[in-house]
Structure 1
Amino acid sequence: MLEMAAASDRDPFGDLPEELLSRVLSFLPAEDALQTCVLDTRWRDLWMRLTSLLFVFDGPTFPRYNRFQQLVKLVICLRGDSPLVRCEIDAYPDDGPENTFKNTRLLIDYALACEAEELIVRAADIQYDLPVFDVPLSLISQHLKTLHLEGVNLDHSALNFSGCLVLEDLRIQLCNIRACEISSMSLKRLCIAEYCLLPDNVRLLICAPSLISLHLEDFEGLTPFLENMPLLETAYVSLKDGCHDFCHKNRRNCDDPCCGCHAYPINKAVLLNGLSNAVKLDLIASPKMFLYRRDLKWCPIFGKLKTLLLSEWFTAVGLVCILRHSPVLEILTLKLDNTEDIVGATGAQETKTQSFVCACIKSVYVECEEVDEGVLAVLNILSTCGILRDQISIKEDPRTDSDCKLAFSISSIHCQLLPPFLNICLSRDFNK
């Protein structure tokens, strides 16, 4: 068929609708899409009306600086001010020791001038392992709805998006954030993930009163301070090894002045107050992270919270405190890989005097390696809070395939360890 079309000088795609051809062009890198202009005037007109530009290259196919500079100038000159919906840019350094990124900045300004609604800027996949491109503070547009930054520097005292009146989605990945504040009145979804570097001498303040979704994980530095988010619906916060909010000596009165525990606020919570309006909340941390536990001193009422997931960072008293402050909680999931620190010397006794009834709880899911003494202590706590035996399900996920360990778990659970008032439904994945 292609041979017949070539013999007749007929465009083999001539019968396809323009909507389909435009859709195909939108997936091509800018250089490939631009080359279609030589086919005929129809292709040129289609390219000029494209609302999506992709300056995306991998290492082997990335053009040399001169070619990249020429491509940028051609695109800007030929397209003019035609409106853009989406623009994706691999930040590419100019030749020379200073790495000025002049053409990358030119592309960013061009995309904003064309009223782009979605802008993605990432470090080019070439020889750089660390962020080298400093994103300009002039990322201000009254049309920008989505901004995705990856592998770049945000070297500003504050990331103030008040000029982006319709900005709703902000995603920051693998970035070096040197700002002390991120603020936006319109932002609805915020994600900071994949090993971002946050300040370690001051807490990043997040001020986003319209936020409905927050995702915060895999960062290095101090945990951000969250201001009130009255519209928040879902939040996922994970404090792992990169987080600096842990005590090297793991004690309340640490005498090491350089320890991260001394950066905690004196009279206010860092996270929990800002998350108090969430409907669905995941609070993940390794046991050494103290931040959630200290926040509980100022624990707010989670008046809308219906679904809650906790890892093993809490103590017995802390778990009771959270349940007491979650009056409409319906589903609780506890991931208990390490239960050594959950119950302290007086934790079990203190919970007895604080017992109450969780009136709205429908289901509790406990995920653990095995039902050990720590898990049983948690189950006892739940029972003192009025959670019935048929509301609790346990899923064991042994880290070994040892038949002996499984046999011990089964016999221990059913014959010795479980209190008589708890009838637990167990499920195991023997293939893991």
Structure 2
Amino acid sequence: MLNKTAASGKGQFGDLTDDLLRHVLSFLPAADALQTCVLDTRWRDLWRRTTDLLLVFDETSFPSSGRFKQLVKLFIHLRGNSPLDKCKIVACVDDEEGCTYTNTMLLIKYALKCQVKELLLSVAVEDDDTVYDPIILDAPLISQHLKLLHLEQVNLKFSALNFSRCPVLEDLKMQRCGIDGRRISSKSLKRLCISDFCYFPEDFHVRIFAPGLISLQLDGFNGLTPSLEYMPFLEIAYVGLRDECYDFCRSNRQDCEFDDCGCHAYPVGEGVLLHGLSNAVNLELIVIATKLLELRDEL
């Protein structure tokens, strides 16, 4: 059998379909998948047309930022703008020159240019528990095709929290993210998850404007509890409040005695949380004892 296969020139994978080979390539980091180009012309074309990409750029694979920069340019040049269904970018941004950060942003823009539908962005985790700086998004994402966005250890600044230029975005998940802006907004969003020690500001309530939301998970965050605007289609909501939520106000009224409380910016009687959750069909609200008084007057 081996002699027959070798004589045919097909190799071990010669009988597999192109779709199956592309599926196999989707599990390989881009640096490894790129090396299949040297096998033959068939593999080169397969790599270019794969619709799932895993882009892992860490210090283990690329000890120098210059090497990372070279690969990014080569990768984009060889692959072109072939459409993407899913793209996962894992990078570290701890280099002094900011090269890794610059090229990470270049890859994000490239994925959006390839009409990616699912984009996952996170920071690399090393075996020695090295903690890298978070990726910073300081400009809005622009895409007519992006449906799912998963961010892990990403700091979002001001305009990056406005998803109005992603009109078909339906799923947004944030984990260990910093939220540095006054409003998260998206008319198309249906599912929102903010969990695993995300950081909200301590001097004002971030407003969440997502009128089409049907599912909400808000749990395990630091800072002031966000203010939820009216969500008429909300079906399922899970909200967990702990001591890390730095809310001072117990009445949510403009005559609050705490000058730092974000409730001063909102009309009298508008609840920080419960106003937005009022239409939820299935609501799970987890509140520790010290938080009960803060919600009492909202009820």
TM-score, with length taken from structure 2: 0.88
Say if 1:281 and 1:131 are closer, same or farther in 2 by CA, change over 3 A.
farther
Tell me the distance in 2 between the aligned counterparts of 1:111 and 1:235.
31
Residues 173 and 10 of structure 1: is their aligned pair in 2 closer, same or farther, counting only changes over 3 Å?
same
**Structure 2 unaligned blocks of 5 or more:** none
* Distance in 2 (alpha carbons) for counterparts of 1:39 and 1:208: 49
For residues 217 and 152 of structure 2, the distance between their equivalents in structure 1, rounded to whole angstroms, comes to 15
Q: Which residue is 1:169 aligned to?
A: 171
Structure with the larger RCO, 1 or 2 (CA within 8 Å, 6+ apart): 2
Whether 1:148 aligns to 2:142 is no
Deviation, 1:132, is: 3.3
1:273, distance to aligned residue in structure 2 (A): 1.4
Distance across 2 between alignment mates of 1:235 and 1:47: 41
> 1: distance between equivalents of 2:59 and 2:289?
41
Separation of aligned partners in 2, 1:89 and 1:261:
35
SS at match of 1:274: helix
- Residue of structure 2 in register with 1:113 after alignment: 113
Alpha-carbon distance between aligned partners in 1 of 2:153 and 2:196, rounded to the nearest angstrom: 10
Corresponding position: 1:78 with 2:42: no
- Counterpart-to-counterpart distance in 1, 2:78 and 2:235: 44
- Displacement of 1:81 in angstroms is 1.2
SS of equivalent residue, structure 1 residue 288:
helix
CA contact (8 A) 1:158 1:180 kept: no
Structure 2 distance, partners of 1:131, 1:245, is 27
Distance 1:183 1:262 in 2: 19
How do residues 96-135 of structure 1 correspond to structure 2 at under 5 angstroms? 96-98=96-98, 101-126=101-126, 129=131, 131-135=133-137
Matching residue of 1:287: 289
Comparing 84-93 and 169-178, the one that deviates more = 84-93
Deviation per residue, 1:132-175 (Å, 9 max, x gap): 32114131111110111110111226611111110000111101
Structure 2 residue 50 is matched with structure 1 residue 50: yes
What residue in structure 2 maps to residue 91 of structure 1? 91
Change in CA separation of 1:4 and 1:125 when aligned onto 2, cut-off 3 Å: farther
Q: Distance in 2 between matches of 1:130 and 1:144?
A: 27
Decide whether aligned partners of structure 1 residues 213 and 185 sit closer, same or farther in structure 2, where only a CA change above 3 A counts: same
Structure 2 counterpart of 1:227, one-letter code: E
C-alpha separation between the residues in 2 aligned to 1:94 and 1:261? Answer: 34
Q: How does 1:31-430 map to 2 (within 5 A)?
A: 31-56=31-56, 60-93=60-93, 95-98=95-98, 101-126=101-126, 129=131, 131-156=133-158, 159-245=161-247, 257=258, 266-289=268-291, 290-296=293-299
**How far 1:251 sits from its partner (Å)?**
11
Residue type at the aligned position of 1:189: R
**Contact residue 183 and residue 207 of structure 1 kept, 8 A:** yes
Residues 262, 182 of structure 1: alpha-carbon distance in 2 compared, 3 angstrom cutoff: closer
Judged with a 3 Å threshold, the aligned counterparts in structure 2 of structure 1 residues 30 and 154 are, in CA distance, closer, same or farther, namely same
Instruction: Map Cα deviations across residues 365-398 of structure 1 (whole Å, 9 max, x no partner).
Output: xxxxxxxxxxxxxxxxxxxxxxxxxxxxxxxxxx
Identical amino acids, percent of aligned pairs: 54
Question: 1: CA distance between counterparts of 2:294 and 2:22?
Answer: 51
| CA separation of 1:2 and 1:34: change in aligned 2, threshold 3 A | farther
What is the alpha-carbon root mean square deviation over aligned residues?
A: 2.8
Pairing of 1:19-30 with structure 2 (within 5 A)? 19-30=19-30
Aligned to 1:420: none
AA aligned to 1:54 is: L
Q: Please, what TM-score do these two structures have when normalized by structure 1?
A: 0.62
Residues in 2 aligned to 1:196 and 1:58: alpha-carbon distance in whole angstroms: 23
Does the 8 Å CA contact 1:65/1:94 hold for their aligned counterparts? no
Classify the secondary structure of the residue corresponding to 1:96. coil
Unmatched 5+ stretches in structure 1: 297-432
- Mark the structure with the bigger radius of gyration: 1
What is the alpha-carbon distance in structure 2 between the residues aligned to residue 67 and residue 259 of structure 1? 47
- SS of 1:43's partner is helix
Q: Is the 8 A contact 2:149 2:171 kept in 1?
A: yes
Aligned to 1:177, the other structure's residue is in SS state: strand
When residues 157 and 14 of structure 1 are mapped into structure 2, their CA distance, relative to the original with a 3 A threshold, is closer
Cα offset, 1:6, TM superposition: 5.3
The Cα offsets for residues 217-262 of structure 1, whole Å up to 9 and x where unpaired, read as 0000000000111111100000012111257xx999xx98478697
